[in-house]
Amino acid sequence: MWLIDSTTPTLISVLFSTIYVLLFLFTLIKILLSTHSTPKTLAYILLVTIVPVIGIFIYFAFGVNYRHKASSTNTKSQHNQISKAFQTLIKDNTLEFQKDNVALLDKYNDLIHFIHALGSEYLCLNNYKLLLNGEEKFPEVLKTLSAAEHFIHMEYYDWENDTRGNQIKNILLDKIKKGVNIRIMYDDYASRNIKHNIVKELKDAGAEIYPVIKVKLVAFANRMNHRDHRKVIIIDGHTGFVGGINISDRYDNSIDTGLYWRDTHIKLMGQSVYNLQRHFLVNWNSCQENKLSVNTTLFPPIGSSKETTEQIYSQIVAGGPIYPISNIMLTYFKIFTLAKNKLYITNPYFIPSDSILDALKQAAISGVDVRLMMPEKSDSMVVGAASKFFYREILEAGVKIYLYKKGFVHAKTVVADGSLSVVGTANMDIRSFDLNFEIMSVDYGASLANELETAFLNDMRECREISSEEWNSQSKFKFLLYSIARLVSAFL
């Protein structure tokens, strides 16, 4: 009995040590196999190594997406099926358009073919309307929704239970009574405030409305990967909206919410709406059982637009975890390396990949006028500090940085050389490049580029430019904080 008692603590200690070593090795293997970002891989390995037990707990609580494998496989399958059906139904006019407008499109042949190769992203001719801020977007959306005759499809990251949120809801309720089919997807975490009111009202009235990714543990949801960050509306298959503006009063400066919000959206009228619709169907068929097919009801023939607006050629680029490569990041990279004279970028979150960083530096060093606009004060302390880590490097290369002071700039736009533009939902960070479902319109045409460039130059009046000398004069302590934030951002 005495021998058993004396050896029991030792046996327990050996048992627990063995279990911990096995768990540690299992965690290391899982990190290496499951985490594709090198900085994030190194960060998690460092965490579980220097913070025993707690580091492993943090990794499994926040670093693992438990729904990824099943949902990603399902979504990839839907993407393949819908893309094949889409190519059968919709005529690809890419080559014809390139031949019809050599003067504009010839210099972008490489970009057009690259985006086309990402997944049959056809070049399309559209009428368009640029919408600056919510005070321009929401009246246009409300008017267009009211004119819907057959169906309305919506996919939104953030929908709030406020004035604009309820105005849109009320129009949708009215359209349901008139026989219009309403199908809506929303991000379960970001739009959590509407689940017990707006969602319920719409569902009770007959709308089909679902979360793209259902969140069970809301407390941990802000660390879950694969969020649906898109903001898309499709009306009757011929009109679409895409951009950075969510459904919330804070985006509308005609409603006093205490902070001026600067953002950009675009209304497209033409065949690019087919591509918006195609990507909508992929997520729709993946998040619930009532599947939709590629048919002439959802992809009707599109005639000339009734709106006498300017025309542009457009390609839609979609990104997310179902794609084998980072479509969004590589498209940004391609655009940045093609710029010859001017490259004006507006984005609220700037934690670039090495490729994006190199593309910006080579453009600036090559003599391109590269200007990057971001908010002076970020809505995330860590992300804001992490962004600042990269300022010194790009400033030294010749990139000009402008910090927006008037309020919060949330637009995700690019304008290059007076004829190439981007309006979309993607931030310039790893989450938007690889983890979130994102979408953007890449547009060719001087009219839109001139409008976006004018908007950029107007916004510059509300900015403070940072010089390399000013930035380098900061204390080493601040640079240390920026560096630490950059490392912490790998976990975000």
Catalytic residues: 229, 231, 236, 410, 412, 417
- The number of helices, as runs of H, and strands, as runs of E, in the chain is 19, 19
Say how far apart CA 448 and CA 455 lie, in whole Å.
11
Cα–Cα distance for residue pair 167/29, rounded to 1 Å = 50
H helical segments located in 90-133: 94-100, 102-105, 109-117
Coil, helix or strand at residue 475:
coil
Cα–Cα distances (Å) from 289 to 207, 210, 317, 466, in that order, read 15, 11, 26, 52
Q: b/e string for 69-100 if b means 16 or more Cβ within 10 A?
A: eebbeebbebbebbbebbeeebeeebeebbee
Q: CA 464 from chain center: how many Å?
A: 26
Number of CB atoms found within 10 A of residue 4's CB? 8
> Which amino acid type is present at position 467?
S
Q: Which SS3 state, helix, strand or coil, does residue 324 take?
A: coil
Task: Return the exposure string of 271-309: e unless at least 16 CB atoms fall within 10 Å of the residue's CB, then b.
Answer: bbbbbbbbbbbbbbbbbbeeebebeeebbeebeebeeee
Q: Are 407 and 377 in contact (CB under 8 A)?
A: no
Q: What is residue 281's DSSP assignment?
A: H
Question: DSSP string of 158-182?
Answer: -B-SSHHHHHHHHHHHHHHHTT-EE
What element of type H or E holds 268? strand 264-270
CA distance readout (Å), 184 to 66, 89, 198, 207, 227:
24, 24, 12, 8, 16
Q: Which residue has the tokens 């959306």?
A: 141
CA–CA distance, 305 with 240 (Å, rounded to integer): 12
